[in-house]
Structure 1
C-alpha cells in the first residue's frame, strides 16, 4: 500500500434480529446480491483497494457468502468481534487486519447496512477529507433536531468539536448536522482516540461517534461534509429492506435501458444485479431474471417469464415461460407456458410450441 492511501473498515456486526431472521443482517439479499456486497462494491468504486470487514460471531457464514462472488479490485479480509462491545471496539479489532501501518494513511469507516451507498458519494467524502487536511471528516445530513438525534457540536467559530446526542426537546426543530455513520479518520490517530473514549452510560459500550470529540480535544481538526440522506439509509427491518431493494432495482433498470435494452414497463420488470443483458433485448411486463442469467442480442423475453441462471442465445423469443439452469440456443421460440428444468438445452432454431416441458 502506498504511503497516504485509504483503507476501508466495514462494521458488519449486526445480527439478523432486527429483520426477525437467523441469517446475519449483512448477508440478506437485495437484487441478487448480499447487502454487504453492495457496500463493498461502493467502496471499490470509490477507488479504495483494501477493506477489512469486522463481523459478529457469524463471521464464517458472512465471509463465505461474500467471497462466493468477491468485489472486484478490492482486497477484503474478515475478522470477528466475539461479543458485542460497541462499534469502537470492532474498529480496534479491524485495525489489526490491515497489511501495513501507515500513520499518514486514512481509514474510511462505514457500516455494512447501507446498500444504497455509491462510489461517487464515498469519493466525495474522501475528497473533502483530503482537501481540508483534517484528522477526521464526518459525513452528515442536515435535519431538524429531535430528542435522541446525534448531532455535531461546534464552537463559537463554527468548527466541529465532537458529536453528542440530544436528550431533550428544548431546541427541537432547530436544524443540526446529524452524522450518518460514515467517517474518515487518519489511521495513526484512530486507535489512540478509540482507547480514550468513555463507555456510553446507557449501554456501557465504546462508540465511534465519540472519536471526533477525542481528536478535537487533542487539538486536531475535525471537518464535516454534507451528503444526501437517501443514499445513507440504514436497513433495520424488512420494510426498509424492501424500500432499499426498490431503489436498487430502479438503478439497475436505468443502467440497462441506457445501454440499449427496452423495458416495456420497468415497474414490472425485475433484473438482478448479477444478470447480463445484450443490446436490443426487449423485456415485456412480468419478466424476472435472476442469478447468472445472460440474454443474447436481439431477444424478446416475456411477458410473465422467469429465468434463473439461464442463457438465451441471440434473437430468441421466450414467452410466458419459466427456466432454471437451462440453456436456450440462437433464434429459438420457447413457449408460451414452457417449463425448462435444470440442465435443459434447447437447440438453435428450435420452436418448442406451447406447454413444452423439458424431459417430458
Structure 2
C-alpha cells in the first residue's frame, strides 16, 4: 500500500447559507460538517491531512485543532487553486491523495477506503468518486469508454442530449497520484467565464497525457451530498439522523419512533435500552444497558448507568448511576453526580450536587451546591438556599437524614448523620447528628378573628 494523504476543501464562505457562520462549521447532528469529514478520514491510514482554509480560517482551525495541518487560500479562485495551496506540504511526495469537500458530512470512511483501493489496484493517476442519480440535472456527467475507463467529464451545460441521459455523475471527490496531481496543477488554466481554476481540468490534463483515469461508483448517492444551503443542510440532518438511529437499533437499542428521536453521532447506548418518542440524546453521552429514556427527554453529555429510567426530563453534563429513577419533569443541571438507586421525582431540580446511594427527592425541590449522603429523604418543597446575592455556598446533608417538607437549608450549613429536620423549618445553623431540629415560628390561633373582620365590612 502506498502512502496516503488527504486534502479537505474548506475555504468557502457559503453565501447561499445566508449565515454569519461559515459553511463548513454548520452542524449536522450536532457536529460541524468539516468535523464529520475529518472524523471519517481519521479512520483511514492517512499520513497527513491538509485542510484548505479561507473564510473563517481561525474558527475552522479552532474546531479541528491538531487533527490537521492548514493551508490558507486567501482568494477563492476555484477548486484547483485551493488544492494548489497544499503544494508546500505535499508536492513531491510519493503516494495517493484524496481530495474531499468539507461540506460533504455524510461521506463514509468505508467509501473513501474503497476509492483508495480501486485507484491503487488499477494503477490510475486519477480516480473519480461517482454516483448514480435519477435526476442528474446540474451535475457533471461521467463519460466512460468501452473498457469502463473515464473518457471525460462533461458539465451539464456543455452536454449533448445523449450525454444528458447519462445518470452517473461526478461527486467532487477524487483520488490522485500525488506527484502527478501537483505537476498537472501547474497546467490548469483559468480561461473560463468565471476566471477560476477548476480541479476537474486535472482529469483532462492527465487523460491527454495518456494516463489511466478511472471512476469508482458508490452505491449511495446520499453520502456524496454537498451542503450549499439550509434546505440541503436539513436533508443532511435527516439522513445522518436516520443512519445513526439505524446503527443503534441494529446494535440492540429499541427506538419506538425513529422519526421523532434525535441522537447525535458520538452517543454510546447499551443493549436493551428503550428510547421513547421525542427524546434527544446529544454530546458525548454514554448510556448503559436496559435503560428507559423518554418520552420527551433531553440528555446532553451525561454518563448513565444500567437500568435507569428518565421520563420527560432534562439532564446535562452529569453522571447518573444505575437503577436511578428520574422524572417526570425533573432537571439535572451540570456537574451533578447521582449515585445508584436514587429517586429524583417530579419538578425536582438538581444543580452541582452529589446525591448518595438510595437517597430521594420525590417532588418539588431544589438541591443546588450540595453534598447529599446515602439514604437521605428530602421532603416536598425543600430547598438548599445556596446564594446570598453575591456568593454561593455548600449544603452538606449526611447519611440517613430526614428533611421534612417545605424546609429551607440556608448554606453554608451541615445536617449531621441521622438527624431529622421538622417540616416547615428554616435551618441556618448546623444540626448535630441524631438531633431533631425545629426552626419555625410558634403557631398562634386568634379565636373569632374572622367574625371580627366581617363586622368591619
TM-score, structure 1 normalization: 0.89
Alpha-carbon distance between aligned partners in 1 of 2:248 and 2:100, rounded to the nearest angstrom? 29
Question: Of residues 76, 85, 106 in structure 2, which corresponds to 1:116?
Answer: 106
Shift of 1:276: 2.0
Q: How does 1:265-304 map to 2 (within 5 A)?
A: 265-304=257-296
Larger relative contact order, structure 1 or 2 (CA cutoff 8 Å, min sep 6) = 1
Following the alignment from structure 1 to structure 2, what is the Cα–Cα distance between the partners of residues 154 and 128? 16
C-alpha distance after superposition, 1:205-244 (max 9, x if no partner): 1110100111111221211222232221111111111111
Matched, 1:14 2:12: yes
Distance 1:123 1:157 in 2: 23
Q: Distance in 2 between matches of 1:311 and 1:176?
A: 47
Contact 1:152 1:179 in 2 (8 A): yes
Determine which of 58, 61, 64 is the counterpart of 1:63.
61
Report SS of the residue matched to 1:97. helix
Residues 22, 55 of structure 2: 8 Å contact kept: no
Cα drift, residue 48 of structure 1: 2.9
Counterpart contact for 1:340–1:358, Cα < 8 Å = yes
- Aligned with residue 165 of structure 2, among 157, 174, 179: 174
Deviation at 1:152, TM superposition (A): 3.6
Shift of 1:148: 5.1
Q: How does 1:136-215 map to 2 (within 5 A)?
A: 136-142=126-132, 149-153=139-143, 159-167=149-157, 170-171=160-161, 173-175=164-166, 177-215=168-206
**Cα separation, 2, equivalents of 1:33 and 1:239:** 17
Q: Which runs of 5+ in 1 are unaligned?
A: none
1:78/1:178 CA distance change after superposition, 3 Å = same
Give 1:27 shift: 1.3
C-alpha deviations, 1:260-308, integer Å up to 9, x for none? 2221222221111122222222211111111122222322111111111
Q: Residues 349, 152 of structure 1: CA spacing in aligned structure 2 closer, same or farther, 3 A cutoff?
A: closer
Kindly name which structure, 1 or 2, has the bigger radius of gyration based on alpha carbons: 2
Q: Structure 2: how far apart are the matches of 1:125 and 1:277? A: 31
| Pair 199,296 (structure 1): closer, same or farther in 2 beyond 3 Å | same
Match of 2:78 among 72, 79, 86: 86
SS in 2 for 1:184: strand
Distance (whole Å) between structure 1 residues aligned to residue 332 and residue 116 of structure 2? 48
The corresponding residue for 1:26 is 24
8 Å Cα contact 1:57-1:83 kept in structure 2: no
Counterpart CA distance in 1 for 2:214 and 2:179 is 17
* Number of equivalences: 350
What is the TM-score normalised by the length of structure 2?
A: 0.71
Distance 1:176 1:289, change over 3 A: closer
Which residue is 1:102 aligned to?
Answer: 93
How far off its partner does 1:142 sit?
4.2
Cα offset for 1:170? 4.6
- What is the alpha-carbon root mean square deviation over aligned residues? 2.4
Deviation larger for 323-332 or 185-194: 323-332
